[in-house]
Amino acid sequence: MKDLKKVSNPYGDSKVMDNCGIFGAMDTSGKVFGGEGVVAAIENMKERGNGLGGGFAIYGLYPNYADYYAFHIMYLNEQARQETEEYLKIHFNIKHAEEPPTRPNQVPNPPITRVYFVEPKEENFEINETADDYAVHHVIKINEYINGAFVFSSGKDMCVFKGVGHPIDIAEHFCLDKYNGYMWTAHSRFPTNTPGWWGGAHPFSLLDWTVVHNGEISSYGTNVRYIEQFDYKCTMQTDTEVIIYAIDILMRKHHLSIETVAKIFAAPLWKDIAKMDDPQKRVATALRQVYAPFLLNGPFTIIIGHSGQMIGLTDRIRLRPLVVGEKDSMLYLSSEQSAIRLIEPKLDKSYIPAGGMPVIGSIKKPLSTVKV
C-alpha cells in the first residue's frame, strides 16, 4: 500500500470517542438548490463529530461538463500531480482542468486539489470493456500506484468535497456556497478504527456512487478479501470503503435492484428465512448463499447517492438511527430529526423506517427534461 499519509489529524491522536452524523437532501423534481441548509443541518449535529473528518457530495452541479467524468484528485506534492497528469493524458482526453475554489486558512495543511473533466480514449478499451469499467480501472490504478495522489470523486455531473475538519470547515474551505445541486449528502466523520486523514473522510465515491456511513463494519476483512477478487483494491484505510465497491459490483455490474442489495447487506437471519413462504424463501436463501461475503456485519446506517436517486438503509435491527422527512418534492434523510426540522419545520411526513428496508427517493422525470 502506498504511503498516503495522511495530511492528517491535527489533534495528534488517532481516535476520539464520538458518533457520526449523516444527512441527505434531495429535490425529487430535479431542481437544484444551494447547500446552506445542508451545512446548517450537519452542523446542528456537531456533537456527533470530532473534527477528524467531514464532507459533502453534490449532484447536478456541473451542467456544462455533464457528459464528462469529473475526476477530483488530492495531491500531497507536485511530483504526484505531474505523474498523475501524465497518466491521465495517456489514458483520457482532458476536456478541462481547474483547481476548485478554496478559502485559505479554513483547515490545517490541506492537500493540493484539482478537478479534471475527462473522457476515456476508446481505442484503449479491452474487449467488452465499457467506459465505466475503464474509468474504474484507472481510478484504482492511480490510487494504488501513484504515491501521493488520491482520486476521491470520479462521477459525471457530481462531486465529493471532503477532508480533515468539521463539516462546516470543509464547506468553507471548498466554497460550497458557490454550488447548486439537486441532491446533497453530508457526513461528520468518526474514524472508528482508523486515523483521520483527508482521503479517509466521507463520503466515499466511485463513478457517480457515493456513500456516507454511521456505524462500524466488523465484517471488513471478509468483505475486502471477496471484493478484491473482482480486481478492486482497498486503499482508503477505513471500513466504509467496502460498501462503495460492493454497491458498484452489485448494482452496476450485476444489475441488481437496491431492494435486492438491501437484502444482501442486511440479510435476514436463517431462522427467519426458514419461516418464509416460497418463492420468497428460495430468493432469500440464494442471496445468502451467493453473496454471503457481501453481508455487512455490525451496526450501520448509510445514505447512498447516485445520479437521480438517494437511498437510506440501516442494519436489520437498527443499531444506528435514520429519520426520514418529506416536504412537497423534498426528501430528507438524517441521523436526527432535529437537523431536518431546523431547515424544514413544517414537514408533510416524518417517520423512522424499518431495519433493513431501504428508503428510496428518485427524480420524478428524466434529468434531461428538468428546467432549473
Rg (CA), the chain: 20
Reported residue count of the chain is 372
Task: Specify whether the CB–CB gap between 343 and 327 falls below 8 A.
Answer: no
Query: What's the confidence (pLDDT) of residue 51?
Result: 77
Which residues have CB under 8 Å from 20's CB, separation 6+? Answer: 48, 49, 187, 188, 189, 190, 213, 214, 215, 320, 335
Fold type of domain 21-215+297-365: Glutamine Phosphoribosylpyrophosphate, subunit 1, domain 1 (3.60.20)
Q: Where are the domains of the chain?
A: 21-215+297-365
Beta-ladder partners of 163: 54
Query: What's the confidence (pLDDT) of residue 105?
Result: 80
Return d(Cα 44, Cα 21) in angstroms, integer: 9
pTM score, whole prediction: 0.91
Tell me which H or E stretch contains 252: none
Query: What's the confidence (pLDDT) of residue 369?
Result: 34
Task: Specify whether the CB–CB gap between 152 and 160 falls below 8 A.
Answer: yes
Sheet with 92-98, side-by-side order of all strands: 92-98, 112-120, 69-75, 149-153
Query: What's the confidence (pLDDT) of residue 12?
Result: 54
Task: Specify whether the CB–CB gap between 201 and 160 falls below 8 A.
Answer: no
pLDDT tens-place values along the chain, 372 residues long: 344 444 444 555 554 545 689 999 999 999 999 999 999 999 999 888 777 889 999 999 999 999 999 999 999 999 999 999 999 999 999 999 999 999 988 888 899 999 999 999 999 999 999 999 999 999 999 999 999 999 999 999 999 999 988 999 999 999 999 999 999 999 997 656 666 778 888 999 999 999 999 988 889 889 999 999 998 888 777 788 889 999 999 999 999 999 999 999 999 999 999 999 989 999 999 999 999 999 999 899 999 999 999 999 999 999 999 999 999 999 999 999 999 999 999 999 999 999 999 999 999 855 443 333
Candidate list 20, 159, 175, 234, residue with the active-site label = 20
Return d(Cα 248, Cα 332) in angstroms, integer: 24
For residue 353, the one-letter residue type is P
Q: What residue spans of the chain are helical by DSSP H? A: 36-44, 78-91, 131-145, 167-173, 220-227, 241-247, 258-265, 270-273, 280-290, 337-343
Is residue 175 annotated as part of the catalytic site, yes or no? no
Give, in degrees to the nearest 5, the angle at Cα 291 between 285 and 292.
Answer: 80
Instruction: Give the relative orientation of helices 131-145 and 78-91 as an angle to the nearest 10 degrees.
Output: 160
* Residue whose grid cell is 447516485: 306
* Residue whose grid cell is 428496508: 357
Return d(Cα 165, Cα 168) in angstroms, integer: 8
Task: Specify whether the CB–CB gap between 199 and 149 falls below 8 A.
Answer: no
